């Protein structure tokens, strides 16, 4: 199928291998990418078969395959799902940074490079990191240790180092969750958070890390209402946030992907959720849970990737490169040391 018929959505799938219905669906609907979860991860060879088959079906060797491989609580390829190492939560790097910044930065890069090796071996070329949200003392624990540090200087330095490790291993990052999930007092997987902080306060804290990563190839929105900017719509559905704050003020020029449309923070049908995201200015919508009827509804509401969105998608994928050589023994030594400290 011609490349210009790619639709602007990313889909999940149900299990370790694609069903016949999923194969037909992917062939006909041409999602831009595939996202994987623990339910899809059994072994490196199984994942390689799954990702290879997806790319063969859509007819694109560079088709993005995404995963959330942060370390800590959010590690889809983990010792509980298959033969993979356990990796530290980002906050572990932050604690080490307080004692030894140089050691923490080296460890973040080396461990990112190790994680990238796992991903590339499985055919995964996009990782949804770094988490740049700045959690507050009274916020919900959904972010918590997924963030590198509550101090923006440390968080930015560690995020840069971690992402550099992934990039050296041939894996693209997706910055999340724009413009900041750190103040949410409820979990957006379950309900819609509303942040009431002033715009001045948000610009001085929460938005700063995202401005520092405005050159990232891809970023993910959050399903959160920021009352000081748009009291009626979560960021994913807000023109004021996406077009004015993210694009103009922060200056993000990369591909903007929604957080999962199946999260309960959003209301309406799946077609409505997708359509509102596109109308607000998102480039690509994300649907994760693998429920086939929902996948179909999202796909049918997703336009062909075109114009600025197509250019952003192509620009992002052009940043993929072959993995560079690295000192695996040194990286494993850093992993052992930081896990012992954790």
Sketch out the chain's domains with CATH numbers.
3-341 (3.20.20.300)
What percent of the chain has pLDDT above 90?
97
Task: Tell me what the mean pLDDT of segment 70-96 comes to.
Answer: 97
> If pLDDT is split at 50, 70 and 90, which confidence band does 342 have?
confident
At residue 192, the pLDDT reads: 97
Answer yes or no: is pLDDT of 90 > 50. yes
- HSE-up (13 A, CA, CB side) for residue 275: 9
- d(CA 246, CA 179) in angstroms, rounded, equals 7
DSSP class per residue in 103-167: HHHHHHHHHHHHHHHHHHHTT--EE---B-----TTS-TTTGGGSS-SSHHHHHHHHHHHHHHHH
At residue 111, the pLDDT reads: 97
Catalytic machinery residues: 189, 259
Task: Tell me what the mean pLDDT of segment 167-180 comes to.
Answer: 98
At residue 341, the pLDDT reads: 79
249-294 pLDDT per residue, tens: 999 999 999 999 999 999 999 999 999 999 999 999 999 999 999 9
pTM, full prediction: 0.97
Tokens coding 100? 């030894």
């Amino acid at each position: 199928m011609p490349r210009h018929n790619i639709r602007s959505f990313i889909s999940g799938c149900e299990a370790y291998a694609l069903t016949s219905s999923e194969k037909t669906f992917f062939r006909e609907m041409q999602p831009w990418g595939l996202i994987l979860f623990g339910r899809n991860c059994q072994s490196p060879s199984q994942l390689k078969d799954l990702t290879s088959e997806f790319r063969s079906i859509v007819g694109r060797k560079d088709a993005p395959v995404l995963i959330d491989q942060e370390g800590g609580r959010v590690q889809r390829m983990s010792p509980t799902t298959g033969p993979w190492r356990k990796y530290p939560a980002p906050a572990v790097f932050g604690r080490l940074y307080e004692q030894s910044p140089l050691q923490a930065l080296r460890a973040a890069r080396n461990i990112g490079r190790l994680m990238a090796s796992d991903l590339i071996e499985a055919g995964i070329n996009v990782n949804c990191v770094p988490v740049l949200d700045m959690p507050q003392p009274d916020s919900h624990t959904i972010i918590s240790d997924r963030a590198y540090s509550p101090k923006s200087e440390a968080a930015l330095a560690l995020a840069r180092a971690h992402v550099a490790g992934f990039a050296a291993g041939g894996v693209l990052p997706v910055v999340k969750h724009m413009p900041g999930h750190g103040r949410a007092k409820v979990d957006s997987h379950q309900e819609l958070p509303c942040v009431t902080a002033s715009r001045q306060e948000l610009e001085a804290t929460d938005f700063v890390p995202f401005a520092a990563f405005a050159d990232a190839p891809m970023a993910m929105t959050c399903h959160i209402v920021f009352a000081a900017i748009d009291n009626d719509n979560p960021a994913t559905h807000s023109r004021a946030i996406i077009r004015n704050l993210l694009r103009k003020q922060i200056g993000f020029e990369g591909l903007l992907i929604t957080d999962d449309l199946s999260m309960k923070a959003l209301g309406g049908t799946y077609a409505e959720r997708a359509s509102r995201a596109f109308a607000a200015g998102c480039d690509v919508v994300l649907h994760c849970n693998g429920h086939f009827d929902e996948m179909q509804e999202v796909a049918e509401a997703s336009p062909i990737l075109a114009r600025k969105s197509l250019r952003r998608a192509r620009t992002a994928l052009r940043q993929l490169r072959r993995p560079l050589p690295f000192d695996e023994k040194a990286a494993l030594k850093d992993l052992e040391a930081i896990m012992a400290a954790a």
